[in-house]
Amino acid sequence: MRVLVSGATGFMGRSISRHVLGAGHTVRAMSRSAEKAARKFEALPEAAAAVETGRLEFVSADVTEPASLLAAVEGVDVVIQCAQFPGAPVENARRGLTYMQVDRGGTLNLLTAISTVYRAQTAGPGMTRFPDGAPRFFYLSGVTVSQHATETWNRAKWQAESAIKGSGLEWAVVRSSWAFGPGDDSLNRILGFSDFLPFVPVFGDGTELLTPVFVEDVGRLFARLVDDPEASRDATLPLGGPEPISMNEFVGTALEVMGRRRPILHVPKPLGKIPAAVLQFLPGRPLSPGAVDFTSQGGVADLGPLLERFPDFKTTPTRAALESYLGESHERSTAGGRK
């Protein structure tokens, strides 16, 4: 199958692309710059051979520019949408870098492009159906998304999910927990403090429960979705690691695996938001009050729906996943590099 991955150069998109390629499919890796995408994929051992045999191709398109998406979605069997604005979760409304504009709006633009290219027929008021050959649509959502969640990232993703589910396409939505692995921008950032501080700061009291998921498991699941149109059809699948743990336990385990002894310094969220209110206006926008909330939220995946569809799918235990890349001989930023 030919699979368009929107956000292929990102942390999640790289893993998804690798696993989909590994399952024998053709990947059309989408980025705002095909040249940049090709350079990013050069680092992957399997990429060169795939490019040579035509199983890995690159396309330039921007989810906020509808016209650019028409060529990207042409001739594919599956579209995987995992594009996110640079700097997330710190929004920049002035530059249009928000969950609403890039995540929700970008998803709507992809659906519109599919509708244009595959000429959806109107079957009745508010109903759309696509001719055979229209792609299936997979979306990378978040574990905290629900109808009643009020935060902007949850609202944007809820609305994107709703549009996908009402599109008339076959779809699957993966509601991923916090993902970690080589080259991630979140856990690695927290652990990075231990390079130069005698403690590691965490917003809040760190007791919220999480089911952090290894990024390899995210990629593996999407490859299974591509492979299995029956099991993946119209499925909403929360995804997370096998056991809920607190943020304190997660960061503590990672430090232990790295062989570092550092206490966790709990920064009360209201206190963290004071510098964040200023930092959001500095170049690079390192933090914002919203990002303090985003990074300290809990989120536990109910794996029931996933196991119903894919009974043999197991996610990696947290410690084993951390040990696979954080040991003393490993680097936090390998496998694709930091963004």
Ligand X SMILES: NC(=O)c1ccc[n+]([C@@H]2O[C@H](COP(=O)([O-])OP(=O)(O)OC[C@H]3O[C@@H](n4cnc5c(N)ncnc54)[C@H](OP(=O)(O)O)[C@@H]3O)[C@@H](O)[C@H]2O)c1
- Taken as a whole, the chain contains a residue count of 339
- Interface with ligand X includes 11 (CB under 6 A)? yes
- Interface with ligand X includes 63 (CB under 6 A)? yes
Q: Which of 322, 269, 255, 319 is nearest to 298 (CA)?
A: 269
Site string for ligand X, 177-206 (x = CB under 6 A): -xx---------------------------
Task: Choose the binding region for ligand X from 59-67, 123-131, 242-250, 263-271 (rule: CB under 6 A).
Answer: 59-67
Task: Choose the binding region for ligand X from 49-57, 171-179, 188-196, 322-330 (rule: CB under 6 A).
Answer: 171-179
Task: State which residue, 63 or 117, has the beta carbon closest to ligand X.
Answer: 63
Residue with smallest beta-carbon separation from ligand X: 10
Helix axes 318-326, 247-257, angle to 10 degrees: 40
Q: Which of 25, 2, 35, 139 is nearest to 80 (CA)?
A: 139
Q: Of these, 64, 116, 194, 248, which contacts ligand X (CB under 6 A)?
A: 64
Window 74-133: residues binding ligand X (CB under 6 A): 82-86, 88, 102-103
- Interface with ligand X includes 219 (CB under 6 A)? no
Window 222-241: residues binding ligand X (CB under 6 A): none
Minimum distance, C-beta of residue 25 to ligand X, in the bound complex (Å): 19
Distance between CA 58 and CA 39 in Å, rounded?
10
- Interface with ligand X includes 142 (CB under 6 A)? yes
Name the amino acid, one letter, at 331.
Answer: E
Q: Provide the token pair at 7.
A: 């956000």
- Count of CB atoms situated within 10 Å of the CB of 327: 12
Q: Provide the token pair at 297.
A: 């939220």
Dihedrals phi, psi of 174, to nearest 5 degrees:
-105, 115
Task: Choose the binding region for ligand X from 30-38, 259-267, 289-297, 315-323 (rule: CB under 6 A).
Answer: 30-38
**Three-class SS of residue 132?**
coil
**Three-class SS of residue 215?**
helix
Minimum distance, C-beta of residue 85 to ligand X, in the bound complex (Å): 5
- Interface with ligand X includes 300 (CB under 6 A)? no
Q: Which residues bind ligand X (CB under 6 A)?
A: 6-13, 31-33, 36-37, 62-64, 82-86, 88, 102-103, 140, 142, 176, 178-179, 339
